[in-house]
Amino acid sequence: MACHVWRERPVKWLQKRRPTAKPDPAARNTPLAGLRVLELARVLAGPWVGQTLADLGAEVIKIESPEGDGTRQWGPPWVEREDGAREAAYYHACNRGKRSIVADFNDAGDCAGVHHLCEQADVIIENFKPGTLAQWMLDYDSVSYSNPGVIYCSITGFGQDGPRRNEPGYDFVVQAMSGMMSITGEPDGEPMKMGISISDLTCGLYSTIAVQSALLMRERTGRGQHIDMSLLDCSVSLLANQAASYFASGENPARKGNAHAQVVPYGVFEVSDGAVVLAPANDKLFKALMRVLERHDLAEDARLAANEGRIEHRDWLEAEIAREVKEWTKDALLRHCQQAGVPAGPINNLDEVFADPQIQARGMKLDLPGGLSGLRSPFRFSDAEMDVGKPSPRIGQHQDKWDFSS
């Protein structure tokens, strides 16, 4: 159902407001205080943009269908609020600090309310298939007619053009198509995806950069614009040095497990009580590691003086190192590597991550109102604060409380 009469329809839950949002007094020293963001997105990539902007102080209004963002039901595990209400932990990973309003685009009154919000938004984030929002006049061309300064960010699987533009985008599929999986996994094993939704998250981060860049450009030109972000584009962009190697050689990079194609030694090594990562990535660090292991013969071996020689003798050299480190305990080896300046680290489970004194010192885990927890966005500013104290909203939590007349 197209929303053709939105300008004349009464809006019960919304009054038209002035273009610039009044900053929340508690968020005025945040980088994006006063910025109004309308999020017409669900699942992960789009909401990740909204959460990042909210953490930076923007006022983010999440528009949900009557059924709500589907990730609210992606459990277990579940997160219970103090009043017994629960949502999936997944939902809370990417919706902190937002307001929630429910709107049915097929209801003329609700559609009118969303249009009024679009008129007053600085940024709109959406992740519908290309062309879908045009039926409600919520596409960029329609919205920018009444709000020419809007920064409108569309996130899709494959972009607004090309032969796959109308196909849905799923992280797993995009990891496969982008080439990521072909270079991830053991050499004799099957291609592997990453343990996080890297395509969604990367697209969310790139989209955040694009939004902020377009806002800065608007300061110069006074004009908004449409941003076209694709999960596949963003994932292909991460191929980085692997793509450069392919361009230079014409050969497909092989899966190397935890090894590095261009650096030796570099990988996971078994110690007497577990495993560690060793990453001496240059000639100086290689010699430092050999001194830690008291293998001065290897440190002075002319064949191993340069990385190219170490690559040539990879199998033999890594077998020598593996035999040496097997006699060490994890704590002892990591302590000696730290003292020698050799990059090395434990392979932590998540309980170990959040018990790590460095992670605790940096405050990466947030304790939020209502007994909820979350991850802090990793920004640190010398003269600005983050707005990270608000939990994810309940569905429709701000339907009646939001004051749009101020």
**Residues classed as catalytic:** 200
Question: Tokens 């020598």 identify what position?
Answer: 320
Q: Give yes or no for a contact between 227 and 207, defined as CB atoms under 8 angstroms apart.
A: yes
Cβ contact 218:149 at 8 Å: yes
Alpha-carbon dihedral of residues 312, 316, 317, 320, nearest 10 degrees? 180
- Residue 189 neighbours by CB distance under 10 Å: 10
Beta bridge partners of 78: 88
Q: Please state, in angstroms and rounded to a whole number, the distance separating the CA atoms of residues 80 and 86.
A: 4
DSSP label at residue 58: -
Asked if residue 391 has a cis previous peptide bond (ω within 30° of 0), the answer is no
Question: Which residue, among 214, 227, 220, 208, has the nearest Cα to 378 in the 3D structure?
Answer: 208
Which helix (H) or strand (E) is 296 found in, with range?
Answer: helix 296-299
Query: Hey, is 254 helix, strand or coil?
Result: coil
User: Dihedral through CA 335, CA 341, CA 346, CA 347, nearest 10?
Assistant: -170
At 12, list the tokens: 């019960």
- Where on the phi/psi map is residue 186: left (φ > 0), alpha (ψ -120 to 50), or beta? beta
